[in-house]
Structure 1
Amino acid sequence: MIKVHEYLEKNIDVAKEKMLYELETSEKDILIKESEETTGGLFKSKKSKIEVILKDDIIEYSKQLIIDIAEKMGLEIKIEAKKRDDFIKLNLISNNNAILIGKNGKTLDSLQTILRSSIQNHTGFKVNIIIDIEDYREKQQRNIERNIKNIAYEVKNTGVPVTLDPMNSYERRNVHNICGNIPGITTESIGEEPERYIVIKRKE
């Protein structure tokens, strides 16, 4: 279980100082939420409140949840964790990567969604945690970037718009970002989820 540590002090700086001392940690190894809380009876006053979870606790919780799911699927699994400033990455190695990845990465995406939802339900924190399998996502990202660039330059040369297959919001954002770096090209998202898609067009 991930423990949420709470500190209520006269200001944020004092709360953070106390938290870092008691938890024997640094700000790069925690996730933190800041708020104000009214205390007292007749003479009310506002105090600064921080809620903190340790990235190491998130990693241990995540590893155990993934291992439990993998065991139910009949898989053996190893997990390598990396902490970054704005996200945590878990790289999985199993005896059957194809099952964990699924068609077009759907099983991998579902596993990531389950993990993020479970952490949020237990802590109230939205944690940017990325699950990969032997760098599958990185390889896919490179392939997608190469393919989208090829399509964009073809559109730029011919002037003929290209409609892509429906994508999730993460994939669409990727396409918008890639095309945004190509002069003379614009993109437009059309339709409703889950059939929302992108059209790549030449700027007029």
Structure 2
Amino acid sequence: MSEEIEIARVLLLELLERMGIDVEVDGVAREGDLCLEVKGDKRGILIGRHGQTLESLQFLVNRMVSKKLRESVRVVLDVNDYRKRREDYLTGIAFRVGQKVRTKGRSLTIGPFSANERRIIHVALREDPLVRTESLGEGEIKKIKIAPKSEGSGEKVQAQRPDGGISSGLPFRNNFKLSGGKGDV
């Protein structure tokens, strides 16, 4: 596996060098993936808006490495721990919106998100007994509907605090538009 990591690392360094970007790249094998961590000053250029440039760069590196090795491999790129920070951010959004859904008893729609971002949100709320998630839309970028599990039964779902009181919900602040079916929230 170390040979594959070195090939992926060198191909990424060559690509970034041709782009005029000087960085350091470390590689490690993790759960069958070749994980490359890019460290340097040009993180904004490499990450792009909501990670779009990073996703595109990862796609290119995957194609290059798979062609070079003549087998399909999965390369995961990260820049200055962006993916971990983004996952924490999306998990926080999922929990806050899930809390709002439990408190208000009606569905909310957030997004749009890439497939990887949707997976993070679905996984974050998978174990919540009071809400469910559903991807909405066509194509690569979709929205996520977070709804009470009992939606459609007419039963209002509310979260209870450990002391038995009803939760007032958490404040929600981000750049995503929330819609609650009949009107915007």
Q: TM-score of the superposition, structure 2-length normalised?
A: 0.75
Deviation at 1:70, TM superposition (A): 1.3
Structure 2 distance, partners of 1:170, 1:95, is 25
Q: Which structure is higher in RCO with an 8 Å CA cutoff and minimum separation 6?
A: 2
Deviation at 1:68, TM superposition (A): 1.6
Structure 1 distance, partners of 2:15, 2:70, is 22
More helix by share: 1
Determine if the alignment matches structure 1 residue 141 to structure 2 residue 110. Answer: no
Identical columns (%) = 27
Q: How does 1:1-204 map to 2 (within 5 A)?
A: 55-204=1-150
Q: How many residues align?
A: 150
Unpaired segments ≥5 residues, structure 2 = 151-185
Contact 2:111 2:144 in 1 (8 A): yes
Deviation at 1:107, TM superposition (A): 1.0
Structure 1 distance, partners of 2:128, 2:26, is 35
Unpaired segments ≥5 residues, structure 1 = 1-54
Deviation at 1:114, TM superposition (A): 0.8
Task: Tell me which moved more, 121-130 or 168-177.
Answer: 121-130
Residue aligned with 1:166, SS: strand
More strand by share: 1
Structure 2 distance, partners of 1:156, 1:126, is 43
Q: TM-score of the superposition, structure 1-length normalised?
A: 0.68
Structure 2 distance, partners of 1:65, 1:172, is 29
Which has more radius of gyration? 1
Deviation at 1:195, TM superposition (A): 4.1
How far does the alpha carbon of each residue in 1:151-196 deviate from its partner, in whole angstroms, 9 at most, with x for none? 1111011112111112222111211111112111101112211342
Structure 1 distance, partners of 2:11, 2:79, is 16
Structure 2 distance, partners of 1:140, 1:133, is 11
